[in-house]
Structures are given as structure tokens and as C-alpha cells.
Structure 1
Amino acid sequence: MLNRVADRFSRVIQRFLPDAFVIAVLLTIIVLAVAIMFNPSEPVQIFQAWGDGFWTYLAFTMQMVLLLLTGMVLASIPFISKGLRSLANFANTPTKAYLLTFIVAAGAYYINWGLAVIVGAIIAREIGKRNKKAHFPLLIAAAYAPTVLYTAGFSSSIGLTIATEGHFLEETMGVIPTSATIFHPSTVIIFLVLAITMPLFIILMAPKKGITSYAPPARSTDFTFDKPKKDSLNPAQKLEYTPILGMLIGAIGVVYTVGVFATGRDLDLNLINLFFLSAGLFFHRSLGQFAQAFKHSVTSISPIVLQFPFYAGIIAVLGGSGLGDAIINGMVSVATPETFNVFSYWAAGFINILAPSGGGQWALQGPLQIPAAIELGVDPAMTAMAVGWGDAWTNLIQPFWALPILSVVGLHIRHIMGYCILLSIWVGVITSVLIFFLY
């Protein structure tokens, strides 16, 4: 029955869901209109908040862009791409195709969600090439669905932010080590339960007829690199393609990041970005090949660069108009110490639809949720993770972070969103129950 429901729902979504950029603009207009109704005497101030906030998160945007780019460039290393293609040969049935795609992407999301974008795209594409009985849109949904799991991994934006000295809530909650957030046993249990049940749900949604098999996109998305012949290189080009420079500067960066981590520094966004950048330089070897991979990856994340300022503007309006406070306080005001983190999860899921940025969302929710948690005697580390899970949960509904992988494989958001919305219902129910009993 589930596969019939998923098929019909997916067809409806494909017909009516607009482009992600259209959604960003529509959400901007809706939030502005509601904020003005909420504060009818302050339309000028609201528009000013939107304009001022449009560029507020430029530094964080650059961190996120680098997180994606360095992960994608690392995944495009020839031996990794070759390994993924070899792995795809094992998916000789539709069930194995969906399961293998999810498992590989989930492992990559745990390490780095920038890495996962291209790993998921490559494994789904290679499986799609080999298995024409697998429904390719569902394969891509399986590659994107583990985005829910990133909040418990090494690139958890909220977990890493509050582990960084000098974060904006340090005076309120202190610096929280990752051992109390992303590596906490309760977080690990939630991760494992979702990682086991989500692929089963995806398999049950698989259509029995009307299969859409893989078709190469009009624009090539293969990571191929032009290597000029050594005897044709001039002195300048020899510097570009010698393996010495890339491996040397990469090794320096890897030694630095491993060294400072080994001596007690906790993981944070800057440290992870430097590590992946350095590892990419080392394994791509030449600066020229690394630059080609970086340039190729930039095209895939251009929609994020375009749309992120619009969502920054929305976050500013939610904060400046009091609308965000009203949404969050309205949900948590009825909470008890036992249910506070569940309500925090739901509030984060709703806010994420309007403002799909873990760090930006934390800037909005953190100052409200953490003092309330402390007042109720709730562990602020668990509240932060509840917000993180909520942010990740509705990434399945908010199309923003699916754009890079869709760009790589040549699909539109409407092709996968029907499956993602149904999956989000399952994730929301399961995670709410787990947070209630574990956090």
C-alpha cells in the first residue's frame, strides 16, 4: 500500500511544487506579510530588518560553502570515485540499490555533509547506470534522506558551534564538548534507530510500475580532469601540475589539524574545513587538478550561494519582528521539563522550513531555548541536540540543501520531494518518541 500512496503523492508534488528559488522568494514575502500583520505599526522597521539581515550570515555562509566544497572535492578524488563505481556493482536488484545508496550516503553524511552530497550523487548515478529496474528519483531520495543524520555527525553545525570557544551563548551555557552532544549515547541511539528504519521505509515506497530509470543529464556531471602531457608543459604549468606543492601544503594542513585535535581542541567548523581542504590537496596531488575539482564543484552549489541571503533575511525578520519569539515561545510555553526537548524539536522543525540554516536557526532559537531549558532544569546540551535534530528533520521538506545533489544528477526538486515528505512523517514520529525518552 505504501508504494501506491508514495507513487500518487509523488505525481501530485511533481505537478504543483515550484522551483526552490521560487519557494525562497515566496517564503520571504509570506514572512514579511505575517510580520507586518504582527506589527502593523512597524512596516518600515521590518523591511529594514530584512535588508540589514540579508548579509548578516556572510561569514557563516562562507563556512557552509567551504564545508560543501571541500567535502565534494574530497569525494571527487579518483580513487574514491573509482571505489564508489566498483561498489555500485553489488546493487543488482532494486532493493539492494536503495539500501546500498542509503548506507553509503549515510556514512558520508556522518563524516561530512559536503562530502555526502557528491558521494550520494556518484553512488546513486552509478547504480542507476547499472540497474535499470531501480526508480532513479527514489534512488536520489535515498541518497539525500540521510541528511537527517548529519546532526549527529562530524559536521553537525549546532554541535560544533557550541563546542567552539567564543560562541555567542558561551556565557549562558558554557562551551559544551562534543562528548556531551554528538557523541552522547542518547544521540548515538537516535542515529542508529533512524539509520536502520529509514532505508526500510524507502524500500516500501519503491514503485512496482512506471519506473523512471537513469538518463544522462544534458550537462556532463562526471568529475574528469584534464592532465596535460609532461613534455608539453611550460615552467609555469609544471608548477601547477607537480605533485610536490599540493602534497606538501596538504600534508602541512593535515598535520596541523590532527595535531591540535590530538592536543585537546574540540571539533569545530573551521578545523573540519581546514582538514578536508588539506586532505583534498594532498590526495589530488597537483594544485591544477585540485583547482579543476574545486571549479567543477562550485557549479553544483551555486543555488545555495544565491538563496542563502534570502533565508538570512527571513531569519532577521523572524528575530526583529518578534514573530520567531512568538512561534518558539508559543510551543515551549506549554512544555514541562519532560516534554521541553520534544517541543524544542518541533519548533526547530517548523523554523527550519522558513530558515534552513542550522547555524542561523541556532542564532534565533538558542537565546530563547537555552535560558528556558536551564530554568526548567533541562540539560542545555540535550536541548541543543533536540534543536539540531529538528533542523535536520525538515530538511526533508525544505528543498534548499537538496539542490547540490540534484544539480549533479540533473533532476529537479519536484522529482524527489514526494518521497521525502512521506519519509519526513516517519522520521518526525520516531524522533519525537526517542527524544522524549532519551533527552
Structure 2
Amino acid sequence: MTTSDTQAPPEKGLARAAQALARATEKWFPDAYIFALVGVIVVAVAAFANGSSPQNVVDAFGNGFWDLTAFTLQMAMVVLTGYVVATSPPVARLITRLALMPNSPSSAVSFVALLSCSVSFLNWGLSLVFSGLLARAIARRDDLRVDYRALGAAAFMGLGAVWALGMSSSAAQLQATAASLPPTLLSVTGVLDFGKTIFTWQSLLTCLIITVITVVIAHLSAPKGAAIKTAESMEVDLDDTIKAPAPRTRPGEWLEYSRILPLLAGAMTLGWLVSQLLTLPVLSVVSSLNGYLLVFLMLGLVLHGTPRRFLDAVTRAVPATAGILVQFPLYASMAAILTKAEGRGGVTISEHLANFFTDIGSGGGFAVVIAVYTVILGLFVPSGGGKWLVEAPYVMQSATDVQMNLGWTVQIYNVAEALPNLSNPFFMLPLLAVLGLRARDLIGFTFLQFIFHFPVVLLLVWLLGMTFEFVPPVIPGQ
């Protein structure tokens, strides 16, 4: 750290508040895996208190542990495909051009926040890596001195603000994919395509409002003048040069360095996509999680040009999926205990919770309470898809009972689910690896966003919820 940075005067306004929050939140937050373990224990204790026998609880825990195997792989692939696309040479060139556009420190931070939110609508994994690389590219500029912490926090805003309102929303993708829905949830909600969730005008308006607020706060909270901490002063290596693959040495490696196979695979994927769009409803095609992942994976292969470059990018991406792979089985066990460990009178915790939310009544009160509950639970289960499977059985049953629109109930969950990401550093991990920073460097800025987002989200779910009508679910096979 340089002398000028060490002796910098205290920051003022929102930037000062951000750093005060950073010191407090980083001190008290353990690793996200600890939250998942604690969550399992808490749910088990609650089941015992509900009258479940130890055998019922441990059977639900063990038998449900692998219930989310397919969905776990799908969510890991969201991260992997986003990383692979973001680190491809064409996207790298785009990032270099975009990094030259901002002309002031504050505009640079708000620019990163805007692009982070925009890209996140397509793929939150892509947003994390793309925005992180953009922040690094801006930080390398010699003609612009920008606070690297604020840039990093802005790069996280796609996941911290609007990701769950976009096309890679775990809950919306899950609800649109019958094969991925647990039978207990499918029997309550049926299949809800994106036309009932992501692409409603209410959801799109919510996404726009949250994005605007995010960009404005990012702009106003960016440190200025002597308060700026650059990547250089924080001793961060900004060299993003990717080592070229070693030259081939054997005839058998020829295809690894050839563009023929990626182009053929890309052509087949394009042909499949066109066929799907011509034979199926458009919304059912774009709502397909497996199809979505296929397109992004093959896009990454084509953009990298050769199988060798693609496989090298996959190798770099795999560590970012570790948290998902080890935590989602715990979420599956939590959901199983909630829905299958019967207590007194044969009633599960899930049924008790459904009755509780039903008693709240319909309308704005139901929407606000569900949003607040989602935020609180998200602090302990920092996963959109995993938490949805814990929460959905009783929340959606309650929504049906009080005749709240089921598609909007998914979106209430989605807009509220993003909020805990602003204070829980679990999903920052892939971005932190790109930035070369620690969670404590960013979380003050992101928690400041949370303070502003929270009341706005509650107001939006209440007001917009009144514009929907209840539509009875269509249950397959009934």
C-alpha cells in the first residue's frame, strides 16, 4: 500500500458507510457451507420438536440427500458455461473495448454495475466472470484512477440485484422443467413456463427498477480523490494473459487444435435449436434448462475455437463450481426432512408452514411476508435453486390456498432471493477468484445496496402483486 493511500482522509457519504459495513459483516460471517450444515441441524431439531421420530428424521436426511443430483449438475453447469463463454477470445476483445468507455471513476463503477445487471439477465455465471474481467480491464487503464473495491462490488451486482429475475433463474428454470421438479412440488404447482414468471411485464418492470437503483447507488458510493484504493495499492496482479496451449507434439493431437469439430458441433446445436423453435412453443424452448445449458456450452466451444482451448477454460472453471457440488445435497436433505418427516398427527413441518402462510391471507400482506421470509432464509441457505426446493412446497401450497398467482409467487421469491447475496459472500467466491480480492473488500459496498434494495423490493411485490389474477395450476396427469 502506498503512503498516499495509507494517509488518505476518511471517506465520506455512502462510500464511508460502505466501508463501515464491510468491517462489521466480514467479521461475523463464516463460510457458506457452515450455514448449510447449521440449516440441516436446525431443520432436524424442528422435526423432533414436531414429534417426528429419530428414525423418520434420519431416513428423510439420508434418502433425500441425492434428490437434487440432476439439478446440482445443472446449476454447476450454469457457472461453468458462463465462465467458459466469458473467458473466450472474442468476449475478451469485447471487454477490452468496453473498458475504454467510462471517463470518470464514478461512471466506471456505475458502468460495470449496469453491464453486470444486463448480462446477468442472460446468465448469472457469465455475469460474474464477464463483469470481473471488465473491472480488471478498467483497473489496468493508466489514464483513469478508479477504486478497485467499488469496481469489484459493481461487478457482483448482477448476482446481487437481478439475476433471479433473468433467464438463468434457478427457481423459474426449475418450475419450467417438469423433469427437474420433485413430485411433491409438481403436484402443487404444475409446470410454469417463462411466460408466467420471467417474461411478465411486472417482472420485467421490477428488473428495470432494481437495475436503475443499483446503478445510481454504485455511482454515488464510489470513492473519489484520495479515498480511492487502486488495484496497484492493494497489490493485486492485473495480468490477465492466458497462457497459450502447448504446441501439439503428436499426430493424435491434431483434432485437439483444429476448428473443425467445434464448428460442426456448433452447427448441430444451431440446427437443433431451430428445430425446437419451429416445432414447439417459443416459451417452452427458452424455458428449458437443459436446452439453455446445451446452447451456452456449445457457444463456449465455438468461441474458444479449438477443443484444447475450450478444455483449458473448463479446467479453470471447475473450481468455481465446488460450493454448489457440496452444498446442494444438504439442501436436498433439508427439503426432505421438511416434507417427509411426519410428526404428530402425521403432519410435516412443511404442512405447518403452509398453514401459517395461508393464515396471513391473500394480497399484499402475503407477498410482503413471503419476501421477508425468503430474505431471512437466504442468509442461511445462499442458493436460489436449493432454497427454492426447501421453501417452494409450503409457499406454493399457501399461494394456492389464498389464490395468489403462482407465477408471481415465484417472482416474489426471485426478487427477494437475490437480496441475501448482498450480505452473504457465498456466491462472491467465483468473482473473488477473478478479482484477486477478499469478501471483506466488497461486502460493505454490497450491503449498502441491500439497505436501499430491501424496502423497494417489499413495495414492488406488494403493489405489482395486486395486478395479477389467480390461475389454477395445471397438474400433469390430472
TM-score, with normalisation over the residues of structure 2?
0.82
**Contact 1:257/1:274 (CA < 8 Å) preserved in 2?**
no
1:395-414 alignment to 2 at 5 Å?
Answer: 395-414=421-440
Partner of 2:155: 143
Q: 2:93 matched to 1:76?
A: no
1:179-194 alignment to 2 at 5 Å?
Answer: 179-194=195-210
The letter for the 1-side match of 2:22 is S
Tell me which of 204, 218, 224 is aligned to 2:220: 204
Separation of aligned partners in 2, 1:427 and 1:123 = 24
Separation of aligned partners in 1, 2:444 and 2:54 = 36
Q: 2:229 matched to 1:224?
A: no
Displacement after TM superposition at 1:195 (Å): 0.7
Change (3 A) 1:217 1:318: farther
Q: 2:324 matched to 1:304?
A: yes
Partner of 1:363: 389
Separation of aligned partners in 2, 1:372 and 1:338 = 14
SS in 1 for 2:418: helix
Partner of 2:276: 260
Change (3 A) 1:416 1:34: farther
Q: 2:249 matched to 1:249?
A: no
1:270-309 alignment to 2 at 5 Å?
Answer: 270-309=290-329
Change (3 A) 1:89 1:324: farther
Tell me which of 355, 359, 362 is aligned to 1:333: 359
**Gaps (5+ residues) in structure 2?**
1-12, 342-347, 466-478
Separation of aligned partners in 2, 1:282 and 1:5 = 45
**Contact 1:217/1:409 (CA < 8 Å) preserved in 2?**
no
Tell me which of 434, 440, 446 is aligned to 1:420: 446
Partner of 2:96: 85
Change (3 A) 1:43 1:202: farther
Displacement after TM superposition at 1:40 (Å): 7.0
Separation of aligned partners in 1, 2:314 and 2:193 = 32
Partner of 2:194: 178
Displacement after TM superposition at 1:252 (Å): 0.8
Separation of aligned partners in 2, 1:42 and 1:324 = 16
Change (3 A) 1:315 1:405: farther
Partner of 1:162: 175
Displacement after TM superposition at 1:24 (Å): 4.0
Please say which structure displays the higher CA radius of gyration: 2
Change (3 A) 1:164 1:302: closer
SS in 2 for 1:130: coil
Q: Hey, which bits of structure 1, 4+ residues long, moved more than 6 A? A: 216-221
Partner of 2:138: 127
Cα-to-partner distance string for 1:230-271 (whole Å, 9 max, x where unaligned) = xx5422111111100111112212321243134325122101
Separation of aligned partners in 2, 1:355 and 1:113 = 18
SS in 2 for 1:339: helix
Q: 2:109 matched to 1:98?
A: yes
Separation of aligned partners in 1, 2:428 and 2:117 = 14
Displacement after TM superposition at 1:177 (Å): 2.7
| Range that drifts further, 254-263 or 47-56 | 47-56
Displacement after TM superposition at 1:424 (Å): 1.7
Partner of 1:352: 378
Displacement after TM superposition at 1:283 (Å): 1.9
Displacement after TM superposition at 1:327 (Å): 5.3
| Range that drifts further, 121-130 or 10-19 | 10-19
RMSD between aligned alpha carbons? 2.8
**Contact 1:335/1:343 (CA < 8 Å) preserved in 2?**
no
**Contact 1:73/1:293 (CA < 8 Å) preserved in 2?**
yes
Separation of aligned partners in 2, 1:221 and 1:32 = 48
Cα-to-partner distance string for 1:265-313 (whole Å, 9 max, x where unaligned) = 5122101000001111222221111111111111233333333334444
The letter for the 2-side match of 1:251 is A
The letter for the 2-side match of 1:224 is I
Tell me which of 80, 88, 107 is aligned to 2:118: 107
Displacement after TM superposition at 1:6 (Å): 1.9
**Contact 2:136/2:435 (CA < 8 Å) preserved in 1?**
yes
| Range that drifts further, 417-426 or 200-209 | 200-209
**Contact 1:338/1:436 (CA < 8 Å) preserved in 2?**
yes
**Gaps (5+ residues) in structure 1?**
none
Separation of aligned partners in 2, 1:384 and 1:136 = 35
Partner of 2:251: 235
Separation of aligned partners in 2, 1:223 and 1:332 = 56
Displacement after TM superposition at 1:62 (Å): 0.3
TM-score, with normalisation over the residues of structure 1?
0.89
Change (3 A) 1:113 1:329: farther
Q: 2:134 matched to 1:116?
A: no
Cα-to-partner distance string for 1:104-143 (whole Å, 9 max, x where unaligned) = 1112101111211211111111122227742222222211
| Range that drifts further, 170-179 or 198-207 | 170-179
Partner of 1:15: 27
Displacement after TM superposition at 1:11 (Å): 2.1
Separation of aligned partners in 1, 2:34 and 2:103 = 38
Partner of 2:399: 373
Q: 2:70 matched to 1:66?
A: no
Separation of aligned partners in 1, 2:223 and 2:45 = 40
Q: How many pairs are equivalent?
A: 436
Displacement after TM superposition at 1:219 (Å): 8.6
Tell me which of 448, 455, 458 is aligned to 1:429: 455
SS in 2 for 1:350: helix
Change (3 A) 1:12 1:210: farther
Change (3 A) 1:298 1:206: same
Change (3 A) 1:323 1:411: farther
Separation of aligned partners in 2, 1:219 and 1:27 = 37
